[in-house]
Structure 1
Amino acid sequence: MQVVATLSLKGGVGKTTVALGLAGAAQRHGVSTLVVDLDPQANATTALDPEPTTATVADVLDEPRRAVVERAIAPSAWGEGLDVMVGAEQTERHNHPDPGAAQLHRLDRALQRIAGELLSDGGEDGPGQERYRLVVVDCPPSLGQLTRSALSAADRAILVTDPTMFSVSGVQRAFDAVQTERERSNDRLQPLGVLVNRVRPRNTEHEFRITELRELFGPLVFNSVLPDRSAVQQAQGACLPIQAWDTPGAREVAAVFTSLLGRVLRSASRNRPAASA
């Protein structure tokens, strides 16, 4: 099970859009996926439109027992193969600025309750299918307990930014947060890369900022950028994945998310070691 956090310490850059786009790409390619909505705004939950649950991620962070985890997960309205650990405003009570180690590891403990779980034993056909091959954690745009909890549980972090004058400092702070959490509590955590969102073609300012990011962060900045397309907002407003929105702009955006999914899956070979028998 690969755990990926979408991270930004600057609001309004489209972090949730990236989480949803990656989840939609995974579903389209048959990769069983769980989206964990850690943002108290719960926008990912709204867009995924899951069935009602009797618990939320806030309850999971209160008590990460298996029974609570299961009550907080529901199928997404997007279709088979994509579930949601639903978000709620109450999650904000867990966003302490200086949490202790026990608080930080509650999400990791919760995800370990379902890691390695099989949908079937596979029978004579070989190993069974994992319940979730991918977990996408949508973080809030701040560095408190919630974001640090995601980094404590994640294998990879996608640093999301936009091509504005504040993007460099935002990416640097996010990168530093990943490095710090790796040293503190999670030595398997690595930055997957920097994804630049809402890029307009032939915009001189955007081109300048992307060049600046590449000079500072080198190959960590993805070659593919997400173009600024109205199809993204239209698909989210209809509670549909961008992959199901049939316009040229939507197809252009979906292609970037397919490429991102490939990078995520290729990184899985360097994940946590398999549990011993």
Structure 2
Amino acid sequence: MKVIAIVNQKGGVAKTTTTVNLATAFAALNKKVLVIDLDPQGNSSTGFGISQQQRKNTIYQVLINLIELKDAIIATNIPNLEIITSNTNLSAAELDLTKLKDREYILMKLLKEIKILYNYIIIDCPPSLNLLTVNALVASDEVLIPMQCDFYSLEGLSHLLKTIKIVEKKLNPKIKIVGILFTMYDKRNRLTEQVEDDVRKCLGALVFKTVIPRNIKLSEAPSYGKPAIIYDYKCSGAVAYMELTKEILERYGEK
């Protein structure tokens, strides 16, 4: 089994869209999947149609030891796919966790008891390199980095790669980057092409061949509480996420 963190400290790079659709694609391929919504905005929870009223037991309560992790797992409408939800209460976790011993390892220890139940656990991280994100990195086997093809994303990628190296050296020696994913890709934009060329030259095979195009259906789907793969499986965004999933499985030597 693999624990995959979807990470980028820059907001608006399709972390949640990637989490929701990658998890759905794995589930469609008969993999048992758990999504952990580790973002206080709770967008992954919303993307699966989980209402605020359904979020009684969240990842926040698990992290501060109010409930057991297994009691926070709820089913989605998608076979093979479960989720631990989030809401704005998670914003307080940073302060709460800071007081605890071995605070970087809390999520890793919690996941030990349920890993055997899943093929993939996918963590949607907040758009910052805070203690929640560090917990995700320490708990994960792999990191997937979504990024846009713009200058600021390029700058942020450099910072993120350094952070992952520090985590690997000091906290989680087994962590690896499964790949870097270009999102909101617009081939008509010359800057897109330039940034893509630079990143591919620098990082080579670490960059996925698959790119996720700008696509209105990807933007519409969350408002219906559905992943794009279910909302419109023929749209270019959904097709791209299925291709990404196959590419990841190839990297893992799976089908």
Choose from 57, 60, 64 the match for 1:58: 60
Tell me, in whole angstroms, the C-alpha distance in 2 between the residues paired with 1:169 and 1:55: 37
Query: What's the secondary structure of 2:163's corresponding residue?
Result: helix
Max Rg structure: 1
Matches within 5 A, 1:83-232: 83-95=82-94, 99=98, 102-116=102-116, 131-232=117-218
Q: How big is the shift at 1:143?
A: 0.6
Tell me, in whole angstroms, the C-alpha distance in 2 between the residues paired with 1:53 and 1:245: 23
Tell me, in whole angstroms, the C-alpha distance in 1 between the residues paired with 2:104 and 2:244: 27
Tell me, in whole angstroms, the C-alpha distance in 1 between the residues paired with 2:153 and 2:38: 22
The 1:182–1:30 alpha-carbon spacing in structure 2 relative to 1, beyond 3 Å, is: same
Question: Could you list the runs of 5+ residues in structure 2 that have no partner in the other structure?
Answer: none
Tell me, in whole angstroms, the C-alpha distance in 2 between the residues paired with 1:7 and 1:256: 19
Q: Is the Cα contact below 8 Å between 2:49 and 2:226 reproduced in 1?
A: no
| 1:143-163 alpha-carbon deviations (Å, 9 max, x no partner) | 110000000000000011101
| 1:37-86 alpha-carbon deviations (Å, 9 max, x no partner) | 0001010011112372542100111128xx62122111113x22111101
| 1:115-137 alpha-carbon deviations (Å, 9 max, x no partner) | 22xxxxxxxxxxxxxx3111000
The 1:75–1:261 alpha-carbon spacing in structure 2 relative to 1, beyond 3 Å, is: same
Corresponding residue for residue 49 of structure 2: 49
Corresponding residue for residue 239 of structure 1: 225
Tell me, in whole angstroms, the C-alpha distance in 2 between the residues paired with 1:156 and 1:257: 18
TM (norm. structure 2) is: 0.90
Matches within 5 A, 1:248-263: 248=234, 250=235, 252-263=236-247
Tell me, in whole angstroms, the C-alpha distance in 2 between the residues paired with 1:214 and 1:101: 40
TM (norm. structure 1) is: 0.84
Tell me, in whole angstroms, the C-alpha distance in 1 between the residues paired with 2:105 and 2:240: 32
Q: Is the Cα contact below 8 Å between 2:233 and 2:239 reproduced in 1?
A: no
Tell me, in whole angstroms, the C-alpha distance in 2 between the residues paired with 1:136 and 1:57: 13
Q: How big is the shift at 1:89?
A: 1.1
CA-atom RMSD in angstroms: 2.1
Aligned length: 250
Q: Is the Cα contact below 8 Å between 2:9 and 2:156 reproduced in 1?
A: yes
Tell me, in whole angstroms, the C-alpha distance in 2 between the residues paired with 1:149 and 1:266: 27
Q: How big is the shift at 1:102?
A: 1.4
Tell me, in whole angstroms, the C-alpha distance in 2 between the residues paired with 1:264 and 1:218: 16
Tell me, in whole angstroms, the C-alpha distance in 2 between the residues paired with 1:214 and 1:266: 19
AA in 2 matched with 1:259? E
Q: Is the Cα contact below 8 Å between 1:5 and 1:158 reproduced in 2?
A: yes
Question: Could you list the runs of 5+ residues in structure 1 that have no partner in the other structure?
Answer: 117-130, 270-277
Tell me, in whole angstroms, the C-alpha distance in 2 between the residues paired with 1:188 and 1:264: 18
Q: How big is the shift at 1:247?
A: 6.4
Corresponding residue for residue 15 of structure 1: 15
AA in 2 matched with 1:23? A
